[in-house]
Amino acid sequence: MESPVLGTFCPPRELCTYIILARSSGVVTMTLRHYRRELDSVFCILGNSENAITESIAWVLSQCPTFLFTFLHTLTPDMKVGALQVATQSFSGDRGFTDIEIYEDKVVHVIVEAKKGFWLPQENQFRRYLPRFQQTQAPPHGRFLVSMSEATEVYAGLHLPQDVDEVPLKHLSWRQTLRLVGDSYAKTGSFDEKRWLGQLSLFLGGIATMQNQGSNEVFVVVLSRDEILPNSGYTWIDVVEKDGNYFHPVGNGWPAEPPNYVGFRYDGRLQSVHHVESYEVVRNLQARNKNWPATSQETKRSRPPHDPHFVYTLGKPMRPASPIRTGKIFRNGRVKCAIDTLLSGEFDTIADARDASKRRIAELADPTPSGIAE
């Protein structure tokens, strides 16, 4: 593949100030802060929405030929390209906005759709964009569809087709994208490219884990003494207490991103808080542990395939300093609390800890100091 010549790409407005500073010379060390939070990467200014992620990737693709070359190489190793264009949020007659498009008329056209968390783009969404290949007159061998999200390549392979109307569809997880960034950083000798690749690496590093290591929030759930399978003697509490695991569906009212901590309540009070040491995505829980429920399509033919489940490996239990009762929470209610509100002994109930945690978040979200009128 020949080295591409990049077209013009307009950076997101929030990056303009950084670009000016980055291009100035000097030895002054500066720290970038957004409200009260120190930012690891300039791209953090954009937030962590789907648009923020794809615009950040598109900007670096447009500024770093090595990264663009590496990215295209994952799709086709032998494509000869000349003047490539990189575009984001392109609107067309299909009434849709694509996340990223990379194209050269009559040569190659790549359409990228990204989703936050473990969600995947739907096949009909890709199908909707197929007419765009006609606009650039890309030959059949130069047409590609790309899915991006936190979902692993193995999981995406179970839920996405290999092609849409003979257009190849490839999935890249954020972890794999991060590896492409790292490979590009090692290859390039350009200081400018390394600077942008380094910024993107820091940004995607936080996205790729999807487990905020800096978060002190605890996802508190209720456990039952009921048996999971009839006459097994194995209960929902045993999943945690005996096996050191916990599982729940991905999304659909449950977290779409793994929490940093999980707390467990039963018998009317908080029992323990655990750090989530690691996690995996599982379709059939019973294949993971014979004592767990069966959640594969094959065992529940009367229902649609179950959503994937997170399976957590839990760290050692942390016990509250004093008994903390449930309080005014629905019987099966799930809540989020700052870890110190649960373990310090300051609050008598989980409900009180939840309310205090919400007040903190509200105060942090308002950058206006108390007592100053707008």
User: Has residue 142 been placed in a domain?
Assistant: yes
User: Has residue 121 been placed in a domain?
Assistant: yes
Picking from 155, 184, 209, the residue at the C-terminal end of a domain is: 209
Same domain, 221 and 131: no
The pLDDT assigned to 166 comes to 94
The pLDDT assigned to 293 comes to 94
Picking from 165, 187, 209, the residue at the C-terminal end of a domain is: 209
- Is it the case that residue 311 has pLDDT exceeding 50? yes
- Is it the case that residue 305 has pLDDT exceeding 50? no
Same domain, 163 and 267: no
The pLDDT assigned to 50 comes to 80
Picking from 146, 177, 209, the residue at the C-terminal end of a domain is: 209
Same domain, 167 and 282: no
The pLDDT assigned to 300 comes to 41
The pLDDT assigned to 35 comes to 57
Same domain, 176 and 141: yes
Same domain, 200 and 224: no
Same domain, 108 and 147: yes
The pLDDT assigned to 80 comes to 78
How much is the pTM?
Answer: 0.56
User: Has residue 165 been placed in a domain?
Assistant: yes
Least confident of 70-74, 149-153, 215-219: 149-153
Query: Where does the pLDDT of residue 258 fall: very low under 50, low under 70, confident under 90, or very high at 90 and above?
Result: confident
The pLDDT assigned to 97 comes to 86
Q: What is the average per-residue pLDDT within 229-256?
A: 93
The pLDDT assigned to 12 comes to 53
The pLDDT assigned to 39 comes to 60
Confirm if 313 and 244 have CB atoms less than 8 A apart: yes
Over the chain, what is the mean pLDDT? 82
User: Has residue 240 been placed in a domain?
Assistant: yes
Q: Which residues of 287-324 are buried (b: 16+ CB within 10 A; e: fewer)?
A: ebbebbbebeeeeeeeeeebebbbbbebeeeeebeeeb
- Is it the case that residue 247 has pLDDT exceeding 90? yes
Q: What is the average per-residue pLDDT within 333-346?
A: 91
User: Has residue 370 been placed in a domain?
Assistant: no
The pLDDT assigned to 364 comes to 65
Same domain, 240 and 158: no
Residues 113-170 pLDDT 10s: 998 776 788 899 999 999 999 999 999 999 999 999 877 777 788 778 999 999 999 9
The pLDDT assigned to 157 comes to 80
Same domain, 20 and 158: yes
Count structural domains, the chain.
2
Q: What is the average per-residue pLDDT within 61-89?
A: 89
Q: What is the average per-residue pLDDT within 250-278?
A: 91
User: Has residue 371 been placed in a domain?
Assistant: no
- Considering 157-161, 189-193, 215-219, the range whose residues carry the highest mean pLDDT is 189-193
- Is it the case that residue 357 has pLDDT exceeding 80? yes
- Is it the case that residue 210 has pLDDT exceeding 60? no
Q: Which domain holds residue 259?
A: 217-365
Q: What is the average per-residue pLDDT within 81-99?
A: 82
Least confident of 178-192, 198-212, 250-264, 305-319: 198-212
Same domain, 151 and 231: no
- Is it the case that residue 9 has pLDDT exceeding 90? no
Question: What is the signed CA dihedral for 309, 314, 320, 326, rounded to 10 degrees?
Answer: 10
The pLDDT assigned to 19 comes to 44
The pLDDT assigned to 205 comes to 79
